[in-house]
């Protein structure tokens, strides 16, 4: 990497960074990071620029972005699981294209969604919390919960194998995305492209900053500022219009349509109250962002039996509110961000087969948040088509 970039990256990563694991061994982290940096990036600038052209069309109201997959990918995911998730994404895209008459841009939460932000540093058993397979193991064993940087190498290899499977399959361009949470992993895959002199995140085509790591003076937002990838930022109900405008100005300094996606996750009961002021204030900056709805993360609750879950009807309700707000303001509801799988899990309530509270225990497999199963996801795609004017 040219030295002017390495200096800027070092400055950015010197800022405070939330949600980084307490790596126990600095020497081990240094050697893993040095090795990771010798490996080729997972995606190419050409592929990233191809997606950027498509997010520009989304921001201009000519296409719809459909992003989704597991909340937390795991290292033991089977080929069938990966194929099932990708196929579900593409089936949903086909349903929306057909029903809404708009081209759909599918982007998977795939080949890199291994790091998880957590609300507490210990879990219900008093163990160090599981932070995703890239950091520690989900198994409730104190030794396996110790963060191990070598897991970043396994994450790279698993992402590489996932991408090989997708590229070799009949999936076409399923672009990849994940939350750019673990800075030691993201840093190792940065690449400067001599063709345009810009810096790209090489771990995925689209990267987003989560609700818990979007501190305006923190490292995550500052790193996203440096990248030429399309980037997203999750906005919860506490986001002020001023802060949303600041993100738009900082992450899209040159006013490039579709450079920034604002992924709103307000909750079904708050979307209609909180979203309009954000949309209006960001529009006043002159930026053409992609407005995306994540109807999952604002609607999470714990079932009577202790399962983290979401109700299909709350997901639909938040989406309906999101579309309604954009209809009223004359802006484009640009996309949807979801957690789903092609597997027949029972993690979210309701939907076509009416998963019940007691039914959740049947097949609850997520190591983090509850996902829609394939049936629920396809039903949701159908509902989405009815929300377009």
Positions touching Mn ion (CB under 5 A) are 71, 369
List, in sequence order, every beta strand (DSSP E) within the chain: 64-69, 104-109, 175-179, 190-193, 198-201, 206-209, 231-235, 260-264, 290-293, 301-302, 308-309, 335-339
- In the complex, minimum distance from the CB of residue 383 to Mn ion, in angstroms, rounded to a whole number: 21
Nearer to ligand PEP, 148 or 179 (CB): 179
- In the complex, minimum distance from the CB of residue 152 to ligand PEP, in angstroms, rounded to a whole number: 19
Give the contact letters, 76-105, x = binds to ligand PEP (CB under 6 A), - = no. ------------------------------
Cα 251 vs. chain centroid, distance in angstroms?
A: 17
Using DSSP, state whether 1 is helix, strand or coil: coil
Q: Is 348 in the site for ligand PEP (CB under 6 A)?
A: no
**Of ligand PEP, Mn ion, none, which one sits near residue 117, judging by CB under 5 to 8 A according to partner kind?**
ligand PEP
Nearer to Mn ion, 71 or 228 (CB): 71
**In the block, residue with structure tokens 């225990």:** 361
Give the contact letters, 256-295, x = binds to ligand PEP (CB under 6 A), - = no. ---------x------------------------------
- In the complex, minimum distance from the CB of residue 95 to Mn ion, in angstroms, rounded to a whole number: 23
Q: Is 237 in the site for ligand PEP (CB under 6 A)?
A: no
Nearer to ligand PEP, 205 or 297 (CB): 297
Q: Is 71 in the site for ligand PEP (CB under 6 A)?
A: yes
Asked whether the beta carbons of 67 and 205 are under 8 A apart, the reply is no
Q: Which helix (H) or strand (E) holds 278?
A: helix 271-284
Rounded CA separation 133/120 (Å): 17
Burial class (CB in 10 A: 0-12, 13-18, 19+), 220: buried
**Of Mn ion, ligand PEP, none, which one sits near residue 218, judging by CB under 5 to 8 A according to partner kind?**
none
Cα 52 vs. chain centroid, distance in angstroms?
A: 16
Nearer to Mn ion, 190 or 372 (CB): 372
Nearer to Mn ion, 184 or 369 (CB): 369
Q: Is 211 in the site for ligand PEP (CB under 6 A)?
A: yes
Provide CB contacts within 8 A for 164, sequence distance 6+: none
* Helices 79-100 and 150-168, packing angle to 10 deg: 50
The neighbour count for residue 146, using CB atoms within 10 Å, is: 16
Residue with the closest Cβ to ligand PEP?
210
Phi-psi region of 267 (alpha: psi -120 to 50; beta: other; left: phi over 0): left
Q: Which helix (H) or strand (E) holds 246?
A: helix 241-251
* CA 386 to each of CA 95, 126, 243, 389: distance values in angstroms, whole numbers, following the listed order: 11, 46, 32, 8
CA 56-100-339 angle, to 5 degrees, is 70
Nearer to ligand PEP, 109 or 259 (CB): 109
**Of ligand PEP, Mn ion, none, which one sits near residue 211, judging by CB under 5 to 8 A according to partner kind?**
ligand PEP
- In the complex, minimum distance from the CB of residue 331 to ligand PEP, in angstroms, rounded to a whole number: 21
**Of ligand PEP, Mn ion, none, which one sits near residue 257, judging by CB under 5 to 8 A according to partner kind?**
none
Rounded CA separation 345/365 (Å): 7
- In the complex, minimum distance from the CB of residue 322 to ligand PEP, in angstroms, rounded to a whole number: 15
Nearer to ligand PEP, 57 or 311 (CB): 311
Give the contact letters, 135-174, x = binds to ligand PEP (CB under 6 A), - = no. ----------------------------------------
CA 149-151-152 angle, to 5 degrees, is 75
Q: Is 369 in the site for ligand PEP (CB under 6 A)?
A: yes
**Of Mn ion, ligand PEP, none, which one sits near residue 210, judging by CB under 5 to 8 A according to partner kind?**
ligand PEP
Q: Is 234 in the site for ligand PEP (CB under 6 A)?
A: yes
Taking every pair of C-alpha atoms in the chain, what is the biggest distance, in angstroms? Answer: 58
Nearer to Mn ion, 29 or 377 (CB): 377
- In the complex, minimum distance from the CB of residue 193 to ligand PEP, in angstroms, rounded to a whole number: 28
Phi-psi region of 274 (alpha: psi -120 to 50; beta: other; left: phi over 0): alpha
**Positions that interact with ligand PEP (CB under 6 A):** 71, 117, 179, 210-212, 234, 265, 297, 369
């Amino acid at each position: 990497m040219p030295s002017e970039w390495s200096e800027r990256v070092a400055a950015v990563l010197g800022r405070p960074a939330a949600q980084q694991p307490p790596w126990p061994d600095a020497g081990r982290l240094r050697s893993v990071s040095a090795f990771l940096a010798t490996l080729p990036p997972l995606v190419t600038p050409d592929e990233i620029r191809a997606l950027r052209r498509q997010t520009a069309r989304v921001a201009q109201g000519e296409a719809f972005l459909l992003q989704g997959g597991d909340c937390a990918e795991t290292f033991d995911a089977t080929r069938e699981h990966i194929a099932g998730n990708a196929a579900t994404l593409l089936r949903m895209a086909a349903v929306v294209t057909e029903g809404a008459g708009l081209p759909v841009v599918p982007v998977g939460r795939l080949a890199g969604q291994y790091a998880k932000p957590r609300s507490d540093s210990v879990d219900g058993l008093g163990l160090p919390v599981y932070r995703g397979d890239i950091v520690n193991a989900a198994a409730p064993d104190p030794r396996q919960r110790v963060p191990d940087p070598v897991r970043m190498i396994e994450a790279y290899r698993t992402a590489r194998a996932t991408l090989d499977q997708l590229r070799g399959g009949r999936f076409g361009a399923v672009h990849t995305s994940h939350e750019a949470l673990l800075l030691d992993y993201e840093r190792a895959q940065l690449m400067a492209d001599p063709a345009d002199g810009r810096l790209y995140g090489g771990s995925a085509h689209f990267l987003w900053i989560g609700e818990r790591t979007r501190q305006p003076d923190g490292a995550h937002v500052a790193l996203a500022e440096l990248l030429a990838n399309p980037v997203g930022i999750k906005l919860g109900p506490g986001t002020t219009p001023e802060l949303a405008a600041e993100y738009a100005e900082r992450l899209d300094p040159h006013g490039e349509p579709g450079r920034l996606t604002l992924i709103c996750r307000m909750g079904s009961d708050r979307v209609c109250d909180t979203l309009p002021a954000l949309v209006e204030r960001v529009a006043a900056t002159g930026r053409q962002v992609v407005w995306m709805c994540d109807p999952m993360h604002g609607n999470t609750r714990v079932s009577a039996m202790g399962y983290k879950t979401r109700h299909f009807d709350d997901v639909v309700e938040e989406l309906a509110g999101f579309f309604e707000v954009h209809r009223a303001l004359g802006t484009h509801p640009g996309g949807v961000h979801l957690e789903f799988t092609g597997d027949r899990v029972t993690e979210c309530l309701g939907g076509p087969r009416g998963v019940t509270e007691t039914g959740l225990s049947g097949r609850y497999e997520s190591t983090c948040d509850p996902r829609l199963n394939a049936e629920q996801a396809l039903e949701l795609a159908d509902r989405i088509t009815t929300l377009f004017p």
